[in-house]
A and B are shown apart, each in its own frame.
Chain A
Amino acid sequence: MTDVLIVVALLLVAGAATAAVLNRDPVRQALVLSFLGLALALLFTFLQAPDVALSQLAVGSAVTPLMILLTVRKVRRRPGSDDGVDKPAGRER
């Protein structure tokens, strides 16, 4: 049973991480990153590491995407860089 859950969580993580890499729009990327955080939190829970899962949930799926979104907003607002869709603005922590 646990093995099944771990495999499902691993697949979710792989899917979300691939989607995050393939997405070119930073705003979408931040959202996908937040799903990746959720998937990782699930994986850590199934691997019996609730402490790590809690950190991952708070930092990985809330704080980091939020900071990326705010950064993208600030960067895009600058005149003349409105089309900066493909800029790798803050992809990772």
Chain B
Amino acid sequence: MSSRVRLWVFLVGAAGFAALFAAACFDLPAFGTVPHPYGARAMHAALSHHTANVIASVNFDLRAFDTLGEETILFSAVIGTVVLLRQARDEHRKDPEPATIHPPVRRFALLTLPLALLVGLYVIAHGQISPGGGFQGGVVTATALHLLYIAADYRALERVRPLTLYEIGEAAGEAAYVITGFAAVLAGSAFLTNVLPFGTLATLSSGGTAMVLNAAVGLEVTSGIVVLLARFLDQAVEIEEPGEDDGNPRHTGGSGGSGGSGGNGDDER
């Protein structure tokens, strides 16, 4: 196909898309209007199941099956990454040497670490009450752990992060979701139906299975992200190419950290 023909094909396609997209946009309800048929129904369903956070109710009750799919996507993505980033036969590990860390950075990281961990766990536990839930809390918890990399060094992070345990945790989180679903079948309902007692609205033990599923997702996401970042960190910090020995063992702590705004610019050469 010559570039001229290609341009025409693109133009025709773009014009068609623009026309359809514009037509669809004109049929949308106005931005931020009050009447919302789906919202009203979701709200009603959430309140009848004593789930104060309507989003959690939609994710873990009304559309629990969707969420199972989403959780499985993350699960398989992490497994895929682990397989892709495993240590190849011609690569070898080199112990990274500790780098000096500026005291203010260390203090800040050590101060933030417990706080961030607590926030993450809080968000997981209160998913059915307040904004957040297993996914959000899981990511916060996982990134919070990596503040130790900023505060101390890679070895310290590896010590608090027994990877096997997190790999098991990831699988257990995924399994717990499916098992909760089948428990509903055993109780005489459909897969993933909310069969547990609903509890009192806006208390920690409310929402029935929404609470359990939140915890399962929290476990899966925390472990999954930790495993994922561990593989990336391994590649960047420890695993060396064959024949590469530039006598320049790139840092351990002090940079390349996580959390916060991910701001570390000292990787530039």
Contacts from A to B (Cβ < 8 Å):
25, 27-28, 30-31, 34-35, 38, 50-51, 54-55, 58-59, 61-67, 69-74, 76-79, 82
* Known pairs A27-B267, A34-B262; A62 contacts B236 (CB<8 A): no
* Known pairs A50-B131, A51-B131, A72-B267; A66 contacts B241 (CB<8 A): no
Q: How far is the CA of A78 from the CA of B246 in the complex (A)?
A: 11
Other-chain contact of A69, B133, B135, B264, B269 (Cβ < 8 Å): B264
* Known pairs A63-B143, A76-B269; A69 contacts B262 (CB<8 A): yes
- Please name the residue on chain A nearest to B232 by beta carbon: A70
* Known pairs A34-B262, A58-B139; A67 contacts B232 (CB<8 A): yes
- Please name the residue on chain A nearest to B241 by beta carbon: A78
Q: How far is the CA of A74 from the CA of B91 in the complex (A)?
A: 13
Other-chain contact of A70, B131, B235, B261 (Cβ < 8 Å): B235
| A65 near B244: Cβ-Cβ < 8 Å | no
Q: Tell me the number of A-to-B contacts counted with CB atoms below 8 Å.
A: 91
Q: How far is the CA of A69 from the CA of B260 in the complex (A)?
A: 15
* Known pairs A51-B55, A63-B225; A30 contacts B262 (CB<8 A): yes
Asked whether B90 is an interface residue with its Cβ less than 8 Å from the other chain, the reply is no
| A58 near B140: Cβ-Cβ < 8 Å | yes
* Known pairs A35-B261, A58-B140, A73-B267; A79 contacts B135 (CB<8 A): no
Instruction: Bin chain B's interface residue count.
Output: 35 or more
A83 to chain B, nearest CB (A): 10
Other-chain contact of B244, A28, A31, A77 (Cβ < 8 Å): A77
Q: How far is the CA of A76 from the CA of B256 in the complex (A)?
A: 15
Asked whether B253 is an interface residue with its Cβ less than 8 Å from the other chain, the reply is no
B235 to chain A, nearest CB (A): 5
Contacts of B139 in A (CB 8 A): 55, 58-59, 62-63
Q: How far is the CA of A31 from the CA of B124 in the complex (A)?
A: 28
* Known pairs A38-B261, A54-B136, A61-B262; A27 contacts B268 (CB<8 A): yes
- Please name the residue on chain A nearest to B131 by beta carbon: A50
| A51 near B267: Cβ-Cβ < 8 Å | no
Q: How far is the CA of A35 from the CA of B260 in the complex (A)?
A: 11
Which of A70, A74, A78 has most B Cβ within 10 Å?
A: A70
The 4 A-B residue pairs whose C-beta atoms are closest, nearest first, are A58-B139, A50-B131, A65-B262, A54-B136
